[in-house]
Amino acid sequence: MTTETAAAPLGPLTERVVESLVGLGGRLEREPFEVRVVLPARAIVDAVRTAREAGFDLLSDVFGIDWLRYPGHQGPRFSVGYNLYSIGHGERLFLRVDVDDDEPVPSITGVWKAATFVEREVYDMFGLRFSGHPDLRKIHTPEDLEGHPLRKDFPLGETPTLFNDGRFLDPAAFRAGMIGASGGLTGWVGGARKGVVAEQVDPAPATPCAGATSADEGER
Amino acid sequence: MGLKDLFEKDVQELERDGILFSTLGKLVAWGRSNSLWPATFGLACCAIEMMQSTNARNDMARLGSEVFRASPRQADVMIVAGRCSKKMAPVMRRVFDQMPDPKWVISMGACASSGGMFNNYAIVQNVDSVVPVDVFVPGCPPRPEALIYAVLQLQKKVRGEVFDQDGVELPMVEGWTR
Amino acid sequence: MTVKPAGYQALTLSEERTGDFETKLMRINVGPQHPSTHGVLRLVVDLDGERIARISPVIGYLHTGFEKTMEHRTYQQVVTYSNRMDYVHSFGHDLAYVLSAEQLMGARVPERAQRIRVILTELNRISSHLVFFGTGILDMGALTLFFYTMREREQLLDIFESVTGVRMNFGYFRVGGLYQDVPESFEHDVRAFIASFPKMLDQYSALFAKNDIFVNRTTGVGVIPIERALEDGLTGPSLRASGVSLDFRKAQPYSGYEDYDFDVPVSTAGDANARFAVRFQEMRESLKIVEQALDRLEPGPVRDPDRRISLPPRNELETSMEAVIFHFKLVTEGFHPPRGSAYVPTESARGELGYYLVSDGGSMPYRVKVRVPSLMNLQSLESACVGGLFADMVVNIATMDPVMGDVDK
């Protein structure tokens, strides 16, 4: 396992490609384990085409990140990452586009058919629209599910664990206690643990989302 | 032995000759219990163990339950093997509705029985809310032996040999009244 | 529940078929409950006679919310989830996850732990391919091989059970090493398997590889040329069957794979037969790796001694207050990797598998993105099936070897 904290080395192919990507308005970011180019949304199709023509011949992945709860994050709320690999050179390059909620991302399906499913996945999980995608439908979640599960404000949707005498254990509050984000381990303090329900979290939230969201927020 | 002997001899004598008496209902239930054909309905991890339970070592054929039917119309038992997502739930109900009566359901594994470790937005927390479950099998995934034990329990239930907590015999499963 | 692919329109049929009568495509729904789709895959197929004109997979019937759930678990707890994603090659998923987490943490894994990881992952690869062969040939209507492969798989599951305590869904790897050392019988059991398995492979080979029916059923079926494979993002044995020698065990070695001498079987035919053959060869290569790793297995620790990651030894808890505090903090809170992201590609039995982890400095991953091989491989189904016979679709699904837990996450 490599433990160096210096930035990841740039391979010859990556160096060439990064140069032309910077020409497209990209910004090189070198982290300990990944080489990443952050691009403006409008340039991503050209960037992927450039990289592919230069020799990155495998599109590994397209993924989204929601920065809503990331401490100290500034800038647009979402990122879309592109994971490219060059089989001949054995080099990996990450591209990234930062976008806000209602900002469409140009789809790269025209350049690379492999992006069809993964872009649909990002749309389903984060609600980011890809303009020019031939078939932008939900892929994983049921048709009648509202919302986009991997957004940070979408609750995990846990069912509380029920015990006798109407006691229950709210998983989110329990977890918050475990990692030290809130005081009690179970969300139950003092007498309430023995079955006396008092000034606790609403045992039956009107909608499962409402109760869980507040606890989720406490956790982060 | 003619039909005349049947009426003249008493029960003990006939049993010595190898003739047993039963009600037609019990006889049918006995026959049913030894030919429970499961529907091929594998969802996730448990489906692999369900496959293993038919192999040479575990050999569910001994219980008459090895014939996994691809069509639900030929099946008696639905083994819900694995986590059931909310997208799958309507499909599962439809497959269950397509099975002819009498029919039974085994909920195999923690995920199907209680949601297991997947306490989240995507998974049905208990398949009993979708299809009526007769036997729950714990485990993640249950061993093939556990599934075979569940089939044995279901056979008992079909034959009407199960008792409640107070030791009162429960009636036979009247599958067709569902 | 009809799902129309966007841009749906009837195909223009060739001249001689558009006479006085009207013809149109026939739409057939396959799955999600179907014995040959390996789980809950649903396919909407448009047929032009017996030929497939269009095929569109509908997935998500096993969507479990893994990524969301993992973001609400501590780094050590995630190991419990990762193996349930691909329940046929569980160790592969565990390994991919712990490698990424270890990269974030900067953990140093002892050599013995790495060797054991390699042995178990390769044995699991064999057992995964055994399921592939059993069910794949079952889909073509031959039941016998299923019982043979399942027999050998039981032998492997016995080894896994002696090591981890369970037959499937192991959760045995930990960030920084292993849960515990292997039992004494481990080496003997694995050597017995290595001794007996090549004979079994010859048996399988005699059963199907030279069987005329099998050969005719698979040769030239579902051909995926190299360009189409790369366009579709295909990886793993299916890509190698199309002629690209990409194996991350060779390309970007991890866990000490660079120490072992093994070949990457490649075929250029790109058809279903090649996909069977490549996996068949891979089982022999995996066996070679297992044997070499077992030869070099030296006694030693199996966990990173770093107290930030590993629990202190049990006997220290009785004497050292500091150990108790570390123990308590690790068990309740877990450890806190520094901010950043990590991605380690690995070679699962199905293709490129990697966990893209984003850490915000907390004890739970901020974002877990699993690059699952089966999802991308499923896109190649179109390249393989369109223009072919409907009956061959089953062969193509089988040779793509998708695991639906891996597809739907």
- The 10s digit of each residue's pLDDT in A135-179 is 888 888 888 888 898 988 888 888 877 777 777 777 777 777 776
C233 in contact with chain A, both atoms CB, cutoff 8 A: yes
| Residue B53 CB contacts under 8 Å (≥ 6 apart), including other chains | B60, B144, B147, B148
The residue among A48, A60, A151 with the most chain C CBs within 10 A of its CB, best to mutate, is: A60
Using alpha carbons, list the distances in angstroms from residue A74 to A70, A98, A100.
9, 11, 12
Q: Report residue A8 as tokens.
A: 């990841």
* DSSP letters for C297-359: ------B---TTTSPPPGGGGGT-HHHHHHHHHHHHT---PPSEEEE--EE-SSSEEEEEEEE
pLDDT at C5: 46
Q: Give the chain B residue nearest C144 (alpha carbons).
A: B55
* Whole-number Å distance between alpha carbons of C67 and C9: 36
pLDDT band, very low/low/confident/very high, at A182 (cuts 50, 70, 90): low
Chain B residues touching A145 at Cβ < 8 A? 86, 121
Q: Report residue A5 as tokens.
A: 């904290």
With 0-12 / 13-18 / 19 or more C-beta atoms within 10 angstroms meaning exposed / middle / buried, residue A210 is exposed
Q: Give the chain A residue nearest B87 (alpha carbons).
A: A142
Residues 7-66 of A with CB under 8 A from B: none
User: What is the mean predicted confidence (pLDDT) over C231-237?
Assistant: 89
Chain B residues touching C87 at Cβ < 8 A? 44-45, 48, 141
In this structure, which amino acid lies at residue C366?
Y
Instruction: Say if CB B116 and CB B88 are below 8 A apart.
Output: no
CB environment C313-344: b (16+ within 10 A), e (fewer) = eeeeeeeeeebeebbebbeebbbbbebbbbbb
C259: left (phi over 0), alpha (psi -120 to 50) or beta: alpha
pLDDT at A220: 41
In this structure, which amino acid lies at residue C117?
R
User: What is the mean predicted confidence (pLDDT) over C240-256?
Assistant: 89
Res B29 pLDDT > 90:
no
User: What is the mean predicted confidence (pLDDT) over C79-90?
Assistant: 89
Of C231, C235, C378, the CB nearest to A113: C231
pLDDT at C19: 62
User: What is the mean predicted confidence (pLDDT) over C374-394?
Assistant: 88
Q: How many Cβ atoms are within 10 Å of A12's Cβ, its own excluded? A: 9
pLDDT band, very low/low/confident/very high, at A209 (cuts 50, 70, 90): very low
Res C8 pLDDT > 60:
no
* Whole-number Å distance between alpha carbons of C10 and C1: 20
**B: neighbours with 3+ CB pairs under 8 Å?**
A, C
pLDDT band, very low/low/confident/very high, at C121 (cuts 50, 70, 90): very high
Q: Give SS3 for C198.
A: helix
The helix or strand, by DSSP H or E, that contains position A60, with its residue range, turns out to be strand A58-66
Using alpha carbons, list the distances in angstroms from residue A103 to A97, A117, A140, C16, C200.
11, 20, 22, 49, 57
Res C11 pLDDT > 80:
no
Measured in angstroms, the CA of B79 and the nearest CA of chain C are apart by 13
pLDDT at A6: 66
The residue among B117, B118, B121, B126 with the most chain A CBs within 10 A of its CB, best to mutate, is: B121
Per DSSP, C369 falls in state E
CA angle C170, C174, C179 (to 5 degrees): 70
Which is nearest to C90 in space by CA: C173, C183, C165, C152?
Answer: C173
Q: Give SS3 for C145.
A: helix
User: What is the mean predicted confidence (pLDDT) over C377-397?
Assistant: 88
Using alpha carbons, list the distances in angstroms from residue A81 to A97, A155, A208, C375.
7, 23, 31, 17
DSSP bridge pairs for B79:
B106
Name the one residue in this structure whose structure tokens are 């409950």: C33
Measured in angstroms, the CA of B150 and the nearest CA of chain C are apart by 19
pLDDT band, very low/low/confident/very high, at B33 (cuts 50, 70, 90): confident
Prior bond of C337 cis (ω within 30°): no
Res C131 pLDDT > 50:
yes
In this structure, which amino acid lies at residue B141?
P
What's the sign of the alpha-carbon dihedral C72, C75, C80, C84? positive
Q: DSSP H helical segments within C219-317, as ranges?
A: 226-232, 237-241, 248-251, 272-295
pLDDT at A80: 92
Prior bond of B102 cis (ω within 30°): yes
* Whole-number Å distance between alpha carbons of C97 and C365: 11
pLDDT band, very low/low/confident/very high, at C20 (cuts 50, 70, 90): low
pLDDT at C328: 84
pLDDT band, very low/low/confident/very high, at C95 (cuts 50, 70, 90): very high
Per DSSP, B134 falls in state S
pLDDT at A5: 55
User: What is the mean predicted confidence (pLDDT) over A108-121?
Assistant: 90
pLDDT at C99: 92
Name the one residue in this structure whose structure tokens are 């809310």: B129
What's the sign of the alpha-carbon dihedral C280, C154, B81, C375? negative
Q: Give the chain C residue nearest A56 (alpha carbons).
A: C230
pLDDT band, very low/low/confident/very high, at B116 (cuts 50, 70, 90): confident
Measured in angstroms, the CA of C79 and the nearest CA of chain A are apart by 17
Rg (Cα) of chain A, in Å, rounded? Answer: 22
Chain B residues touching C408 at Cβ < 8 A? 85
For C28-74, write each residue's pLDDT tens digit: 888 787 776 777 888 899 888 888 888 988 888 889 889 999 988 88
DSSP bridge pairs for A168:
A162
Which value does ipTM take for this structure? Answer: 0.85
Cβ distance of B91 and C32 shorter than 8 Å: yes
pLDDT band, very low/low/confident/very high, at A202 (cuts 50, 70, 90): very low
Res A196 pLDDT > 50:
no
Round to the nearest angstrom and report the end-to-end CA distance of chain C: 22
* Whole-number Å distance between alpha carbons of C195 and B5: 66
For A26-77, write each residue's pLDDT tens digit: 888 888 888 889 999 888 999 999 988 888 888 989 999 999 888 888 889 9
C-alpha of A87 from chain center: 26
Chain B residues touching A157 at Cβ < 8 A? 120-122
Cβ distance of A60 and C371 shorter than 8 Å: yes
Q: How many Cβ atoms are within 10 Å of A3's Cβ, its own excluded? A: 11
Tell me which of A20-24, A93-97, C33-37, C336-340 is least confident. C33-37
For B42-70, write each residue's pLDDT tens digit: 888 888 888 888 888 888 888 888 788 88
Which of residues B31 and A201 earns the better pLDDT score? B31
pLDDT band, very low/low/confident/very high, at B171 (cuts 50, 70, 90): low
